[in-house]
Each structure stands twice: as structure tokens, then as C-alpha cells.
Amino acid sequence: MEENLAQYSGAWGPPGGWRAPQGARGGRSLSSVLNELPSAATLRYRGPGVLPWGAVEDEEQDGGKSPQSFPEVTPMQPQDPHPSRELPWPMEARRAHRQSQSKDPAAYTSGSWAAHWARLLSRSKEKMKEGVRTLQPWAWTLKKIGGQFGGGTECYFSLLRFLLLLNAVASVFEVCMKLLPAWLDGAPPGPPGPPASSCGSYNPHAQGLVTFPTQIFNLLSGEGYLEWSPLFYGFYPPRPTLALTYLCSVFASGFVCLLLILRRSVSGLRQTMLAESGALTSYSHRVFSAWDFGLCGEENVRLRQRHIRYELQVELEEAAVQRRAAGRTLGQWTWVWLVRTLLNLLVLALLGAAFYGVYWATGATAELKERSLVQQTPLLKLVVDYLPSIFISGVNFVLPPVFKLIAPLEGYTQSRQIILILLRTVTLRFTSLLFLLISLWNQITCGGNVEAEACQPCGYNYKELPCWETKLGQEMYKLLLFDLLTGLAVMLFIQFPRKVFCGLCPGALGRLAGIQEFQVPDEVLGLLYAQTVVWVGSFFCPLLPLLNTAKFLLLFSLKKLTLFSTCSPASRTFRTSTANLFFPLVLLLGLAISAVTVFYSIFLIPPSKLCGPFRGKSSIWEHIPESIEKLPQTAQNFLFFLGSQAFAVPLLLLSSILMACTVALANSYGRLISEFKRQIETEARNKVFLAQRAVALSSANGAL
């Protein structure tokens, strides 16, 4: 027994190296032993010149004893060569360290010059990042929204700010590469006269006096005086320089948007991987490591407390659902999967009906326009023009609430339910837009039959659509405008009256109306859908990104007003990391859909013969080879080399090698991280075991 005692006492270090127990007690508690572990002693050291953790409390408990009762855990003040801000010390110790370094110039030259300049460079980068963060608009507003309504709502407004940046960048490209070149070589000419060509004539200007209601209807539909304006494709003249810049602006703006979205997606992927691995979502992290000690002001502290509370709420909800799922029997799992199968079949049926309705509404619009009653009534003509937009908006307004009612019946977690709702709503919105475009393409290309009577002379339906690019631009313009008008109508006639009604009727009628919550999935998908519409229509309506920038500025103010005045925090919360990954991925999907539609129009559909900068060409892309042929021979050879197999095959091999190296490096890092985690778990078990043995030996010693 004595040998064992000597062995364990030696393991704990020399007898004089630890503080004696307080008072005469027969046994020692586990907490007192844990406080004397080497890890606890390390935590006690708070830097030079600062009292250790717990010194004030011990001084009070010991009747005013000196804090030097910890001589062994407060070492000599070291001359650390690292910058003060990089040391794990409190602010007082950092200030003392900085002052000592300023008095001793040799401290700066203790390391190598390379390390010194590396530190200066890292500080400069941090200052630049801080400066960029201070220039971000609405930073305080986003922090306030995140603290009061949760991280999901904050992600919506952060995404809105990011989309505003994308539209501002695209607007700069559109103005500099389309609008300015159209006016530099002189004012663009007017529409062609009546005997324009064998493809008919095209004159969008109305003849005679135009009434004021007709002007309003033209503003809403993009017809009349707007049809031949810089807003649409047909206005731009057929000039070689303008045609080249017009086509290059599409690729340039798309490439820049792709880079910005990928950068945001990578940061969101990193956060999601950390969250799913359990490194950031554990309760200990939320309780002990999530607090920001640099907060100043009572309001900032309250916002941070609310933010942590929302994160803990999400974790507790996820854990409760997982516990219920783990306790299910085989029969219960069979019933759950049967219910999920039936509900998914119902969702597919609803989506199929919606897609067919969009296709029918687009085809019926062309037939209704030919009727004399519609042509004689401007208001009825406006309704017919907006029939596809009305149907798409109606479907997007009705089906998402149905998806919300279906999702809880499937037995998934809250985060999984929101992901399913988002996926179904994404499918609804994007596929509805695709069916609208497919219906329009069928009208333009006569159902794909180039030999048809209406398409044979010019390659497209020139009788109904003499400038089909402008027609596509008008449809995207109407979708954008109708989406804005619908949002304003919902705010003015549904959300604000509902809030007033709940305030005036606090009883049963108020509870019947219900508490308004900010529906993050619907709002986010509305933003992504509107941005996809802009990307699709920017080639046919060049100023559409500029209009969308103004729309998003107005939308941010209105949504913030609605959020703080009419909405309460959402009961269905979800992880911020999931939103940071899922939303950019959906945005990438929208960019891919818009790229496919624009490339199809550029490569496969003949351009209009009566309007636009590519009139008279067999295809829009034909202008690029013609421009390359005008370059010097050296430039031509270089461009042809970039498109040859001699360049593509080595590039593919190099990319494969880099990808393989990246995957191997990621696997090695993953194995190393797993090994570190196992070591941490082993150390934790060792400490608990040693603490238990120490308590047992201390109790036995006290009994003796």
C-alpha cells in the first residue's frame, strides 16, 4: 500500500509543488483534485503581471492571504518574441508586454528579419481585412437581426447583400460594354422601315396619339416606347465593335459572378464540415468558447446571448429528434418509409400539375392576344401579357405552404425538413422558369421544325415574333416587375393588416390570425429565383441587372421594416452553417440554368433579321470567329492553340495530377485529425482515471 502511495504521489510531482488542501478534511473531492491537475495549473497562468485565475477568490476565502500562494503556477515573466495580440493573455498582460517591447528595441530584432517582415505582412493583411469589414454595408443591422431573430434570418439578409453586390458588378459590365459602346459611335438608328427584308417588318412604335393609361400599361409590359429603348436587345445597332463587346460582357459578368459564388461556397462548405463533424456544434463549445470577450455595450451583449440561445435551441431540437428515431422498431420504420413514399408521390403530382399549367398558360397567351376583344381593351391585354407571370407567381405562392404541411409528417429533423422544403421549392421555381422558356422556344422555332411555313424563310417565327430576343427580354422584365409588385402587395395588404388585427384583438380572434414569423426558406428561394430570372434575361434585357439592383435596395429596407414591426422569431430554426452552404449551391444551380438557356440562344437559334447587333448573321456566335480572323496571325495561332488538343490534353493531365495530390493531402490531414481526436479522448480518460485514483488514495490516507 505504501509503495502504491509513493508511486501515485510521485506521479503527481514533488510534494511541495502543489497547494495543501484547505482545512483539516479527511478526504478530498474530485473537483479539488481536478483543480490541481497540470492542465488546470496551465489555465491558471494568465500572463506576466496578472493574478492567476481564482487568486482573488482564494484570497477572500483565506482571510486576506497574499496571492503568492501559487508560486509554482506564476512563473517568471518571459520575454516572448511573439506580437502581443498573438499571445493567449488578457488585455492587461498584453498591454504590459507591448510596453516592455516598446522600451526594449532589441526585442523586435530577437528573431530573424524574415520572421519580422512576415509578422508585419500578417498585421497588414489583418488591418486590410478589418477595413474591408468596416466598409461592408448594413453590418450592424445584420448583427442585430442575428441576435433577435436567429442565424437563419441573418443569413437571408446576408445573402441579399451578396446578391446586391453581384448585380452591382453585372450592372457595371452592362453599362461599360453595352450601353456606352452603343452611343460612342453616334446615336443608334431607329427601327427599320416597312419594306425591311423578306422576313417582314418591325416597328414597335405605336401610330397616332397614345393615351396615358396605355403609357402605364406599356411601362408594365415593356412594350411601346420601352420596346425600342436601351432596356432591350433590339435597340442596339449592328456595329462590329458593339457586337463583340455585347457578347463578351455576357461571359465576363458570368465568370466574375461564378468566382464570387465559389468563394462564398467554399467558406460555407468549411463551416458546414466543421459543424457536421461535431467540432463546433457541441454544447461545451457553445457554453465555454462561443462568447466574444471583446463585446462592448449592453445591447451587443444581449444580442450575443440571444444568438447563442438560438444555436443551443437548434442543437437540442436535433438531439431530441435523433433520440426518438433511435428508439423506433422495425414496424415503426416501415410505417415511416411508407408515409414518406406516399407524400413524395403527392409532391411529384403537385409539381407535375404546376409545370403543365405554366406550359399551358404560355401557349394560351399567344392565342388570346389574337382575339379582337383583347386587342381593343388595354387592361385585358395587360392581363393576358402577364398570364404566365401570374400563373408562376400563383403556383409559387400556393405550393410552398403545402410543402411545409407535408414536411413534418415525414419524421425528419428540423434542419432536414427545411432542406426538403427548400429542395422542393427550388424544383418548383426553377423548373417553372424552364417550362416557360421551353414554351417560348417552341413558339420561336415553330416547335423545332425549321421547315415549317412560318420559320422557313428566316429560321424562326418572324410573323409572330419579328424580334424574338426582345420578346424573351420582355418576359423576364415582366417576371421581375411582377415579383416586386407581388412582394409589395403582400406586405401592404396581408402582413401589416394582420399585425394590426392581432394587436387590436388579443383574444381568440388574434390567436386565430396567428403570430407572423419570417419564413426564411420562402424568402431565400424568392431571392434566388429573382436572381436566376435576371441572369437569364440579362442578354436580352441588358439593363435588367441595374433594375434588380434598385429592387434589392428597396427590398432590403422593406424586409427589415417588416421583420422588426410585424414578425416574431421563427419557431423552426436551423443551423447557420447549413444555410451558408445550401444557399450558394442553389445560387450556382441558378447560374448553371441561366448559362444553359443563354448558350442555347447563342449557338442554336438564328438571331433576328430586323433588330439587335447580330442581325444578318446565321447565329450569334458567328461574330466571334469573324472577329478572330481580323486579328494578327500570331494572335490567331495562339487562340487556335488554346482550343486544340495539344493544349487541352496536358491541361487535363495537370488538373488530374493536382486533383489527386489534393485528395491525398486531404486524406492525410483527415487521418491526422482523427488521430488527434483519439489522443484527446485517451488523455481525457487518463485524467479521469488518475483523478479517481487520487481521490480514492486521499480518502484512504484520511481514514488512516
pLDDT in tens, 646-658: 888 888 899 899 9
Q: Is residue 221 very low, low, confident or very high in pLDDT (cuts 50, 70, 90)?
A: confident
Rounded Cα–Cα distance for residues 331 and 342 (Å) = 17
Rounded Cα–Cα distance for residues 44 and 53 (Å) = 5
3-state SS assignment for residue 80 = coil
Instruction: Please compute the mean of the pLDDT values over residues 332-337 and round it to a whole number.
Output: 83
> Is residue 150 scored above 80 in pLDDT?
no
Q: Would you state the pLDDT for residue 194?
A: 61
Q: Would you state the pLDDT for residue 367?
A: 79
Rounded Cα–Cα distance for residues 545 and 168 (Å) = 7
* Paired strand residues for 568: 517
The label of the residue with cell 422556344 reads 441
Q: Which tens digit of pLDDT belongs to each residue from 607-633?
A: 888 888 888 788 888 888 888 888 888
* Paired strand residues for 43: none
Residue 532 and residue 433 in contact, taking contact as beta carbons nearer than 8 Å: yes
> Is residue 292 scored above 70 in pLDDT?
no
Q: Would you state the pLDDT for residue 166?
A: 93
> Is residue 667 scored above 50 in pLDDT?
yes
Q: Would you state the pLDDT for residue 345?
A: 92
Q: Is residue 275 very low, low, confident or very high in pLDDT (cuts 50, 70, 90)?
A: low
Rounded Cα–Cα distance for residues 375 and 371 (Å) = 6
In the chain, the amino acid numbered 93 is A
CA 701, chain centre distance (Å)? 62
CB-CB neighbours of 187 under 10 Å:
8
Q: Which tens digit of pLDDT belongs to each residue from 466-518?
A: 888 898 999 899 999 988 988 888 888 888 887 777 767 766 666 556 567 78
Classify each residue of 626-636 as buried b or exposed e, where b means 16 or more C-beta atoms within 10 Å of its C-beta: eeeeeeeeeee
Q: Would you state the pLDDT for residue 442?
A: 85
Residue 28 and residue 18 in contact, taking contact as beta carbons nearer than 8 Å: no
Q: Would you state the pLDDT for residue 543?
A: 92
- List for the chain the helix, strand, coil content (%; round to 5): 75, 0, 25
Residue 139 and residue 133 in contact, taking contact as beta carbons nearer than 8 Å: yes
Q: Which tens digit of pLDDT belongs to each residue from 439-476?
A: 888 888 887 777 777 777 788 888 888 888 898 999 89
Helix 576-603 and helix 151-174: axis angle, to 10°?
30
Q: Would you state the pLDDT for residue 515?
A: 65
User: Grid coordinates representing 421?
Assistant: 422544403
Long-range Cβ pairs for the range 311-315 (8 Å, 24+) = 311/151, 311/286, 311/576, 312/283, 312/286, 313/573, 314/414, 314/415, 314/573, 314/574, 314/575, 315/281, 315/283, 315/286
> Is residue 291 scored above 60 in pLDDT?
yes
Residue with the bigger pLDDT between 146 and 465: it is 465
**CA quadruple 305, 311, 314, 319: dihedral sign:** negative
> Is residue 438 scored above 90 in pLDDT?
no
For the ranges 9-13, 23-27, 155-159, 537-541, the maximum mean pLDDT occurs at 537-541
Residue with the bigger pLDDT between 259 and 451: it is 259
Residue with the bigger pLDDT between 327 and 60: it is 327
Q: Which tens digit of pLDDT belongs to each residue from 89-107?
A: 777 777 777 777 666 555 4
Q: Which tens digit of pLDDT belongs to each residue from 38-49?
A: 555 444 444 455
Q: Would you state the pLDDT for residue 171?
A: 93
CA atoms within 13 A on the CB side of 580: 17
Q: Would you state the pLDDT for residue 149?
A: 76
> Is residue 31 scored above 70 in pLDDT?
no
Q: Which tens digit of pLDDT belongs to each residue from 163-201?
A: 999 999 999 999 999 988 888 877 777 777 665 567 777
Rounded Cα–Cα distance for residues 130 and 368 (Å) = 58
> Is residue 75 scored above 50 in pLDDT?
no
294-303, 307-316, 359-368: which has the minimum mean pLDDT? 294-303
